[in-house]
């Protein structure tokens, strides 16, 4: 109003000026003196009027500028929805909205679907943008949704967690459950190799860990109720479901055969059926094959390094001055050491295969020297054994295996089976679990056993020499594939064959 009052005063001055100017006629011949006096007044009034008009114009412009309001037009997906005082009001409102949604859904990653919001700067005299109405309208145009990370196994979703970090940590935890752990500086190893004298020293090196199935993670829009507790999902992955299963032993079955048939580890069978001794099962036996069915399978490959002692051989020196059967120890033997490296493949902690991949002699044994009479039978062994199979590859070692004692070593290679030392065949025929079997007495306290043969080429009482073929490798008895089962006995006590080979 001050601006318009100012304009009224200026108009009055201007009208007064115009009236005065009309009353003074410069063409009149009367009162010249008065005219000269009065002529100065219009000039003054004119100058004053111009000054007032200038001041009024400046004052009006300044007033308008002082009452001009800057504001912002807000567009949602290109459509005008209202006006606010500044962009900051909208941005802060959105930020607070995101916090409210996140607090309402604790532990879940929420995303605000605000669409595309753009702004246009505006200004107008005495403008009054209704920010509250604009924000209220914006609230009706936005939505929110939860996001999570799906765990996918072989193309099938098995669960959802809140974010990528949780998914990664969960999968690492599952892998870690079946990886060798270290306690007190010593690796925990579940190896088949065993030392009867307790002198075995071993260490494990993990070579690889992987999922057998195709395991992937994928970010996705989910319902908040779909997001699982990581602990519950972990138990679901490693335990899965339990399916009770029993099996009746059929003719020709063996533990390894049944394990292969049901795609499980033999270790499962031994753990669930502790009554099995020395691999002995018979037709009609009912086996409990109940196992967990985890949703993922973790396969680990470990190299287990073991140090074994090497039993000294015996060198016999013939002495014609000594009668047959007489002997004398010239030098005591000394044990040596060798390093064996096994490759163990496990699935979810169960041993699936074991392979001897390296053998290095660290300290050679020193053979004992025994002097004996010259009348030495050809059947008497030297005490130094050779491998009964050419190109032998060890498939199972001596010792505790799945809760029971494996009495010898298993090996594959050339199918011809050879006598490990000189001796006399003391047994040929069938033995429980071993199928076709040969036993050789070496007449020096040692006996060797050869099992699972497909053919026996010698007879009981026959004298054989080291390296002589005695049979053919087979798959008879309780066997899970063509191989040789080889045992060494010393004075009736079971020995680890690897100490003598």
More confident residue, 392 or 30: 392
322 occurs within a structural domain = no
| Number of folded domains that form the chain | 4
- If asked whether residues 395 and 453 sit together in one domain, one would say yes
Mean pLDDT on 321-331: 79
Domain final residue pick, 141, 171, 194: 141
E strands of 284-373, at which residues?
A: 286-288, 291-293, 298-310, 314-319, 327-331, 336-347, 350-363, 368-373
- If asked whether residues 120 and 160 sit together in one domain, one would say no
pLDDT band at 330 (very low <50, low <70, confident <90, very high): very high
Averaged pLDDT of the chain: 81
- Does 160 score more than 70 pLDDT? yes
268 occurs within a structural domain = yes
Mean pLDDT on 68-92: 89
d(CA 496, CA 385): 12
- If asked whether residues 19 and 59 sit together in one domain, one would say yes
Mean pLDDT on 42-65: 55
| Residue 209 confidence (pLDDT) | 92
Q: Judge contact between 499 and 310, C-beta under 8 A.
A: yes
d(CA 314, CA 331): 10
- Does 372 score more than 90 pLDDT? no
Q: In the numeric block, which tokens belong to residue 406?
A: 């494996």
| Residue 379 confidence (pLDDT) | 67
More confident residue, 264 or 445: 445
Q: Judge contact between 346 and 300, C-beta under 8 A.
A: yes
pLDDT band at 470 (very low <50, low <70, confident <90, very high): very high
What lies within 8 Å, CB to CB, of 299 at 6+ separation is 208, 209, 210, 211, 212, 345, 346, 347
- Does 471 score more than 90 pLDDT? yes
| Residue 2 confidence (pLDDT) | 44
- If asked whether residues 61 and 80 sit together in one domain, one would say no
301 occurs within a structural domain = no
Closest-CA residue to 423 (of 331, 371, 488, 477):
488
pLDDT band at 54 (very low <50, low <70, confident <90, very high): low
More confident residue, 192 or 281: 281
pLDDT band at 51 (very low <50, low <70, confident <90, very high): low
Mean pLDDT on 113-123: 86
465 occurs within a structural domain = yes
Query: Which residues pair with residue 410 across a beta bridge?
Result: 396, 485
What secondary structure, in 3-state letters, does 139-157 show? Answer: HCCCEEEEEEEEEEECCEE
Domain final residue pick, 268, 293, 318: 293
pLDDT band at 140 (very low <50, low <70, confident <90, very high): confident
Backbone angles phi, psi at 123, to 5 degrees: -150, 150
- If asked whether residues 219 and 281 sit together in one domain, one would say yes
pLDDT band at 252 (very low <50, low <70, confident <90, very high): confident
Closest-CA residue to 302 (of 402, 213, 186, 191):
191
| Residue 141 confidence (pLDDT) | 83
pTM score of the predicted model? 0.48
428 occurs within a structural domain = yes
User: Beta strand 368-373 with 314-319: parallel, antiparallel or unpaired?
Assistant: parallel
| Residue 22 confidence (pLDDT) | 53
- Does 376 score more than 60 pLDDT? no
- Does 402 score more than 70 pLDDT? no
- If asked whether residues 167 and 284 sit together in one domain, one would say yes
486 occurs within a structural domain = yes
271 exposed, middle or buried (CB, 10 Å; 0-12, 13-18, 19+)?
A: middle
252 occurs within a structural domain = yes
To 10 degrees, what angle do helices 87-104 and 131-139 make? Answer: 40
More confident residue, 278 or 276: 276
| Residue 19 confidence (pLDDT) | 57
- If asked whether residues 223 and 250 sit together in one domain, one would say yes
More confident residue, 312 or 381: 312
d(CA 72, CA 82): 9
351 occurs within a structural domain = no
- If asked whether residues 44 and 169 sit together in one domain, one would say no
User: Beta strand 416-418 with 469-473: parallel, antiparallel or unpaired?
Assistant: antiparallel
Provide the 3-class DSSP secondary structure of residue 49.
helix
- Does 46 score more than 50 pLDDT? yes
Closest-CA residue to 163 (of 178, 146, 177, 179):
146
Q: Which helix (H) or strand (E) holds 221?
A: strand 215-222
| Residue 262 confidence (pLDDT) | 81
- Does 399 score more than 60 pLDDT? yes
User: At which residue do the structure tokens 């699982």 appear?
Assistant: 228
Domain final residue pick, 141, 164, 198: 141
Give the percent of the chain with pLDDT over 90: 35
- If asked whether residues 57 and 109 sit together in one domain, one would say no
Residue 10, Cβ neighbours under 10 Å: how many? Answer: 16
- If asked whether residues 46 and 132 sit together in one domain, one would say no
More confident residue, 25 or 151: 151
Q: Which residue range forms the structural domain that includes residue 277?
A: 151-179+212-293
Backbone angles phi, psi at 275, to 5 degrees: -75, -10
More confident residue, 391 or 263: 391
Give the percent of the chain with pLDDT over 70: 80
| Residue 263 confidence (pLDDT) | 76
- Does 15 score more than 80 pLDDT? no
Closest-CA residue to 17 (of 56, 43, 51, 52):
43
Mean pLDDT on 427-454: 94
411 exposed, middle or buried (CB, 10 Å; 0-12, 13-18, 19+)?
A: buried
- Does 59 score more than 80 pLDDT? no
User: At which residue do the structure tokens 């048939």 appear?
Assistant: 261
- If asked whether residues 264 and 385 sit together in one domain, one would say no
- Does 298 score more than 50 pLDDT? yes
- If asked whether residues 112 and 62 sit together in one domain, one would say no
**CA-angle at 337, arms to 331 and 342, nearest 5°:** 150
More confident residue, 264 or 431: 431
> CATH no. for residue 481?
2.70.70.10
């Amino acid at each position: 109003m001050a601006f318009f009052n100012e304009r009224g005063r200026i108009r009055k001055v201007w009208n007064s000026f115009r009236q005065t100017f009309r009353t003074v006629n410069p063409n009149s011949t009367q009162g010249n003196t008065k005219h000269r006096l009065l002529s100065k007044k219009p000039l003054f009034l004119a100058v004053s009027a111009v000054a007032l008009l200038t001041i009024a114009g400046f004052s009006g412009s300044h007033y308008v500028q002082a009452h001009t309001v800057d504001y912002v037009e807000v567009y949602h997906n290109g459509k005008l929805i209202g006006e606010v005082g500044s962009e900051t009001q909208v941005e802060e409102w959105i930020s607070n909205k995101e916090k409210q949604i996140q607090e309402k859904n604790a532990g879940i990653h929420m995303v605000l679907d605000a669409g595309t919001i753009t702004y246009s700067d505006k200004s107008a005299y005495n403008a009054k943008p209704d920010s509250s109405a604009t924000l209220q309208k914006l609230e009706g145009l936005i939505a929110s949704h939860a996001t999570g990370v799906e765990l996918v196994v072989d193309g099938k979703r098995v669960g959802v967690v809140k974010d990528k970090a949780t998914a990664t940590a969960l999968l690492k935890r599952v892998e870690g459950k079946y990886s060798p752990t270290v306690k007190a500086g010593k690796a925990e190893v579940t190896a088949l190799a065993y030392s009867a004298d307790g002198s075995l020293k071993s260490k494990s090196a993990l070579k690889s860990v992987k999922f057998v199935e195709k395991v992937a993670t994928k970010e996705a829009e989910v319902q908040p109720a779909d997001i699982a507790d990581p602990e519950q999902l972990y138990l679901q992955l490693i335990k899965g479901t339990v399916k009770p299963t029993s099996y009746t032993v059929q003719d020709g079955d063996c533990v390894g055969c049944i394990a292969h048939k049901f795609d499980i580890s033999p270790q499962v069978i031994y753990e669930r059926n502790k009554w099995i001794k020395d691999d002995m099962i018979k037709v009609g036996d009912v086996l409990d094959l109940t196992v967990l069915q985890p949703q993922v399978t973790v396969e680990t490959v470990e190299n287990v390094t073991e140090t074994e002692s090497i039993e000294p051989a015996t060198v016999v020196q013939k002495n014609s001055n000594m009668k047959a059967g007489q002997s004398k120890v010239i030098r005591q033997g000394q044990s040596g050491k060798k390093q064996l490296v096994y490759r163990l493949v496990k699935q979810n902690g169960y041993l699936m295969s074991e392979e001897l991949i390296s053998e290095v002699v660290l300290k050679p044994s020193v053979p004992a020297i025994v002097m004996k009479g010259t009348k030495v039978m050809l059947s008497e062994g030297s005490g130094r054994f050779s491998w009964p199979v050419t190109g032998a590859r060890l498939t199972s070692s001596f010792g505790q295996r799945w809760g029971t004692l494996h009495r010898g070593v298993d090996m594959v290679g050339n199918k011809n089976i050879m006598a490990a030392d000189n001796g006399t065949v003391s047994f040929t025929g069938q033995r429980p679990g071993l199928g076709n079997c040969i036993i050789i007495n070496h007449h020096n306290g040692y006996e060797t056993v050869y099992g699972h043969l497909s053919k026996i080429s010698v007879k009981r009482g026959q004298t054989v020499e080291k390296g002589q073929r005695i049979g053919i490798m087979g798959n008879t008895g309780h066997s899970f594939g063509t191989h040789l089962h080889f045992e060494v006995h010393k004075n009736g006590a079971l020995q680890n064959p690897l100490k003598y080979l």
